Amino acid sequence: MDSSKLKEVVTRFNREVIEEGNRKSFDALMSTDFVNWSAPDATLRGAEAMWKTFDTVLRPALAGIQVQILDQLCDGDKVTTRKTVSGRHAGPLFGIEPTGRMISIDVIDIVRVRDGQYVEHWGVNTLAAVITQLQMG
């Protein structure tokens, strides 16, 4: 795939999966051998754990969730994306009751794409800092 097609796969994931919560799109975009290397332990590295992060943690906590892609770069079969995930804190988030505040999580993801699907993921984000801010009021 050329770099524009690789970027389209990642953009589609961000729109259809993260923003819209579309399970069919998630299933279509995830390889059966997908590995999320950013997961805290090996039991959480599969696709289903990633789905649960969005479906049971972020989407319920952030009303009107939006992903703003700021930069995308390709190197071979890897797409690096710098983005912001934002929304209104309208549901519990890691035990913190809704505050109604707008929150924004900065993210840098690297995704290896094969045959139009996510095969591997690495990422860093500012979620821990956001949680700390919410706890402080």
Q: Which domains does the chain have, with CATH numbers?
A: 3-136 (3.10.450.50)
SS3 state of residue 136: helix
Cα–Cα distance between 110 and 122 in angstroms, integer? 5
Instruction: Please name the amino acid found at residue 118.
Output: Y
How confident is the model over 19-70, as pLDDT tens digits?
999 999 999 999 999 999 999 899 999 999 999 999 999 999 999 999 999 9
Quote the pLDDT of residue 136.
87
Render pLDDT for 5-21 as a digit per residue (tens, 0 to 9). 999 999 999 999 999 99
Exposed/middle/buried for residue 6 (C-beta within 10 Å: 0-12, 13-18, 19+): buried
Indicate the pTM of the whole model: 0.94
Tens-place pLDDT, residues 74-111: 999 999 999 999 999 999 999 999 999 999 999 999 99
Percent of residues, the chain, with pLDDT higher than 70: 100
